[in-house]
Structure 1
């Protein structure tokens, strides 16, 4: 009987352990295969998108793309661009979905606060006694990163972050917010939660028609309560503004005078504030940063999966410079280069379910006609000009236009697209809504044409075998096509 009880106990323990492990494996698997929120993409005509609103702040401005455009609604994303002046600070904030930023120009400092991680950057106490007394405990905080032109910065959902411009020129950052990501459990609205400054109401107003209708319904219910508050406008303030002053003072162990400063409503400052005194944070010197990047480049090639030891939550790499020509995945000396940053290169992108591609096309060069099997592609033109054509599943041309710097074009999943550079060349970044996004080419080596038998092509298009061979072998370059002698400028 004792033996039976012992065996029963061991069996039950094994079953509990097996169930626990199965649950964890299930969670990891579902996390890796998380689905984006489905949207209706009944698009008959795509457009070049430009910022529809500019919001001025004390030390810079923010450009907002229209979230009600059918193109962005199809991809379920939001696009924002910050221009931060010298000594300007983009105040801390967090959002309800993952985001990926690209530094268009300038340099600065970027800080992110990951919940549960220690403050590993600490203020040195090796100073004079008088300085120590004046400085008090000094300072300690989480990792601060040097950022510069070409850096890609990845941020998981709900991570508070800030940016400071310590360079001589403007620091310009364009940001994609993946509203359709499974991490967003609120609704299909872009919500920015500011932890400082005095955010203008327009930021909270960046909603779609659905959100506006919900806001109108909620406004009627809250109107009486808002009228009874202390004469302060309750829309467009930072998060601290909504708390009761006495409760907030007790929670932070500060006096009400300081609480008033946290909650004050100075619309002139906005979300990019000017730093008046010397900006002091603990951060590595530039040389140390460069050594770190060199080590990171050694891992640029796919590693074939992670063993779980390379990175932990608190040591995640959040940035990677995509501008270096030496890191190009595809290079053609007569056409340009293409570089991709995906989850193999920057593992945190597996969590975000995003990736990015940078393309530099030389004069009159062509990026091979292709489609994106797994992802929407949101193109931001960073330099130059050129022509883009996009074709739907019906064979209709839904976009055919010239593009220039600062414009956005959305290429829906599976839609075929081709890009050609103009006289000044064409450069763009493509935010993609998949961590390992790939393209399927319609022409060139490794494309649909070169991998299909000649007789299949001949019968599919109703042409001779000779014509099918010419069609199949007309371009032997990979992805980036050099201009032909007969190529015309436009």
Structure 2
């Protein structure tokens, strides 16, 4: 008994020490003294598109426990089926397409009717022209797609222009039990073939490693995103043939060893996919939802979400709604026709986010407009600029500015939990999308009609800032807007000077 107790005590101490070490590592990673705007670290070319990968070892990403990539898929391109060890939020920045997510154990509800396909003796005897599969969905600009951990998924560009999708991974999510990086497991193709060709001298990888920051031996490299074959490659071809009841040649094609197309392939003669036809009204709504620019005539003051209040029983696993258009005007939470608008997509509006423990924000500021200085109470925040220029200042708990720069289109910055931030649009305005590590991320404003300062008693403000009572009242009440501030004549003069 004594030996068992000693063993349990030793294991308990070891677990506590490991947990403390992990927490200390995470805390050390968030001791940020300076951060910078980030651009892709690797660009990996495939037959019908490219994937741009940000540096997962950057201290910002390590602090927040997140990762980020961007797919650029050419018309007719197919991102091969794969799954990942983390939950995913993807945002369709440009273009249109169709995608599918395979949820284990769910039925194949999209199918051709046998009565339409066959008759008489042929019915049920031939299946070459039949098909059935799980639900697929149309994607348009502004759609946010939620994909649970380990769910296989694919994406096809069926439009006539490039499809751009940015993808956010929450590597510290409780559903990820592998390590601190996202790992992609391909079900098809031979992604390593394209990577090997690039390593042999094809000028298709552009590396943007930061100067003076050495990479530790054995750490994740962006190229490892495609540094292996698909998962069937590791099985014996005979086993695959028996498992699928096919011949060996088909089994070897599943392994993809001779496939040289990379991870985004050109679909031959388009994809014939079973899907419902959109009505004219739905097509018009999709176009309006993805029109992109802010119309000041549309004023909305928040709503409860497209599905009403959730009591936890509205959706089963197999009927989960996996996409929502964040640019739908009804999602706008804050609107100031002279300044801009902000829409939040949380678990109240998009219930699957409760399971993923993630949320998203779509923001727009007009020329020189400002979003109130604020902090996010319960989440890290990855900010990606989609249009224009955005001046961003970030302040840490020591009161030091750790970022004061202009974010350009396509750049990323991480705003850690509770760090204060202020945003101001440039001369052309700005739009962004943010991904947050909480399904109901909340902010606390520092300025404006509903803010920390305006909620303090006047005498507390006066004594805190060494102000007269009159100046304290002016500080509290002079800004009557809530979150989005129309630029004053004074700030416009400074911007144009």
Both structures adopt the same fold (TM-score exceeding 0.5): yes
Whole-Å separation in 2 of the counterparts to 1:252 and 1:362: 57
Moved more, 306-315 or 153-162: 306-315
What's 2:90 paired with?
101
Give 1:213 deviation, angstroms.
2.9
Please say if residues 59 and 272 of structure 1, whose CA atoms lie closer than 8 Å, have aligned partners that are also in contact.
yes
1:126-150 residue CA offsets vs partner (Å, 9 max, x unmatched):
5465998875361111000000000
Which of 459, 463, 467 is 1:459 aligned to? Answer: 463
Distance (whole Å) between structure 2 residues aligned to residue 348 and residue 404 of structure 1? 31
Q: Secondary structure at the residue paired with 1:270?
A: coil
- Whether the aligned pair in 2 keeps the contact of 1:51 and 1:66 (CA below 8 Å) is yes
In structure 2, list runs of 5 or more residues that go unmatched: 1-22, 200-206, 208-212, 290-301
CA distance 1:283–1:215, change in 2 (3 Å): closer
TM-score by length of 1: 0.83
Cα distance between partner residues in 2 of 1:476 and 1:210: 49
CA–CA distance in 2 between the matches of 1:298 and 1:314? 26
Residue 115 of structure 1: which of 104, 114, 133 is its match? 104
Write the mapping of 1:152-167 to structure 2, written as runs, cut at 5 A. 152-167=144-159
Alpha-carbon distance in 2 for matches of 1:66, 1:203: 17
Which structure 2 residues correspond to residues 274-353 of structure 1 after superposition, within 5 A?
A: 274-287=266-279, 290=282, 300=305, 303-304=308-309, 306-353=310-357
- For the 8 Å contact 2:142–2:327, the answer to whether it is kept is yes
Q: SS state of the match for residue 314, structure 1? A: helix
The RMSD of aligned alpha carbons is: 3.0
* C-alpha distance after superposition, 1:327-362 (max 9, x if no partner): 311100100000000000011001100000100110
Do residues 199 (structure 1) and 205 (structure 2) align?
no
Q: Which residue of 1 aligns with 2:218?
A: 213
What is aligned with 1:43? 32
Which residue of the partner structure matches residue 483 of structure 2? 479
1:429 and 2:399 are equivalent in the alignment? no
Output the CA distance in 2 between the equivalents of 1:214 and 1:385. 33
Q: Which runs of no fewer than 5 residues in structure 1 stay unpaired?
A: 1-34, 217-233
The whole-number CA distance in structure 2 between the counterparts of 1:292 and 1:117 is: 31
TM-score with structure 2 setting the length = 0.82
What is the total number of aligned residue pairs between the two structures?
435
Q: 2:242 matched to 1:250?
A: yes
Give 1:50-129 correspondences, 5 Å limit. Answer: 50-127=39-116, 129=118
Q: Shift of residue 270 of structure 1?
A: 0.9
SS state of the match for residue 145, structure 2?
strand
Given that 1:301 and 1:345 are in contact with CA atoms closer than 8 Å, whether structure 2 keeps it comes out as yes
Residues 246, 312 of structure 1: CA spacing in aligned structure 2 closer, same or farther, 3 A cutoff?
same
Query: Which one of 174, 182, 185 corresponds to residue 190 of structure 1?
Result: 182
Instruction: Tell me which of 412, 417, 421 is aligned to 2:416.
Output: 412
Question: How far apart are the structure 1 equivalents of 2:488 and 2:265?
Answer: 51
Q: How does 1:139-158 map to 2 (within 5 A)?
A: 139-158=131-150
User: 2: CA distance between counterparts of 1:186 and 1:211?
Assistant: 19
Distance in 2, Cα, partners of 1:90 & 1:62: 10
Residues 246-295 of structure 1 show CA distances to partners (whole Å, capped at 9, x for unaligned) of 1111111111111111113356411100011341111111228939989x
Matched, 1:401 2:393: no
Once residues 362 and 283 of structure 1 are traced to their aligned partners in structure 2, the CA distance between those partners, rounded to angstroms, is 39
